[in-house]
């Protein structure tokens, strides 16, 4: 299951039933779990931590040092969970002193040419399209979909159940449950198709819609609009998630 043309550092830890193709390079201080497939020419560098059942396509580079001039060789990791598909030429850099680790969760699909920069966090069951670039310390919440060639500015956060249109550039946070597209990026309504596919019922979708009507179409201070949502929209996990997301936003959010 391990090609004689692959290089594996003697200190690397490799789990059971892994397939490692020709011309792969696995550095020291690397831990790879069980049932992983590394096709040819995959590079796994110092500080990488990989779970179980992942598939890495040719040209993927995991754990390269950050593209950040503040990085001075500090110990950090690039951590990948379970059952991800990491397609051709994906690059996932390890962390810096800022957070110490870059994290990709479980059940994700990262398509060809995706870049995940230092200290970024990608949740679970996300789809990230060809050529999309996530800058340092970005956060992608669970079940988000980013289409091809999306550019996400440093420190931005993307909410769960989002659909971001191809070629979108964002320097602000992207609200949960929303569709974002156009140039400049704009809120285009709820991700109705995605919410229905994920089993959201009509009442929940209506309450999310009413929440955003108050926040995005109301007048007055944002603080007062959020308090109006708390008064008028029944308490739910989705309502509270939206309110917490907005209150914790450091870059503002796309409207």
Contact 159, 246 (CB under 8 A): no
Q: What is the C-alpha to C-alpha distance for residues 36 and 17, in angstroms, rounded to an integer?
A: 7
Q: What is the C-alpha to C-alpha distance for residues 100 and 79, in angstroms, rounded to an integer?
A: 11
Q: What is the C-alpha to C-alpha distance for residues 226 and 224, in angstroms, rounded to an integer?
A: 5
Catalytically active residues are 118-119, 136
Q: Which of 214, 245, 240, 247 is nearest to 228 (CA)?
A: 214
Report in angstroms the alpha-carbon separations of 67 from 33, 96, 102. Answer: 27, 10, 13
Cis, peptide link before residue 184, omega less than 30° from 0: yes
Around Cβ 10, how many Cβ atoms within 10 Å? 5
Torsion of CA 41, 47, 51, 57, to 10 degrees: -20
């Amino acid at each position: 299951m391990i090609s004689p043309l692959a290089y594996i550092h003697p200190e690397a830890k490799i789990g059971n039933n892994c397939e490692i193709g020709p011309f792969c390079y696995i550095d020291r201080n690397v831990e790879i779990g069980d049932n992983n497939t590394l096709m040819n020419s995959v590079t796994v560098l110092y500080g990488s931590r990989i779970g179980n059942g992942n598939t890495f396509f040719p040209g993927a580079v995991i754990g390269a040092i950050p593209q950040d001039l503040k990085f001075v060789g500090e110990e950090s990791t690039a951590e990948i969970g379970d059952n991800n598909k990491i397609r051709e030429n994906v690059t996932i850099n390890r962390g810096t002193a800022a957070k110490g680790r870059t994290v990709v969760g479980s059940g994700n699909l990262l398509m060809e040419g995706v870049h995940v920069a230092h200290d970024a966090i990608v949740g679970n069951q996300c789809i990230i399209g060809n050529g999309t670039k996530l800058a340092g310390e970005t956060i992608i919440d669970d079940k988000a979909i980013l289409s091809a060639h999306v550019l996400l500015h440093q420190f931005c956060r993307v909410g769960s159940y989002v659909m971001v249109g191809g070629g979108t550039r964002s320097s602000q946070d992207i609200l949960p449950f929303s569709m974002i597209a156009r140039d400049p990026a704009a809120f285009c309504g709820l991700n109705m198709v995605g919410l229905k596919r994920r089993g959201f019922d009509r009442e929940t979708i209506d309450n999310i819609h009413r929440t955003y009507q108050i926040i995005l179409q109301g007048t007055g201070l944002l603080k007062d609009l959020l308090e109006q949502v708390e008064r008028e929209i029944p308490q739910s996990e989705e309502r509270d998630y939206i309110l917490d997301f907005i209150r914790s936003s450091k870059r503002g959010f796309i409207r």
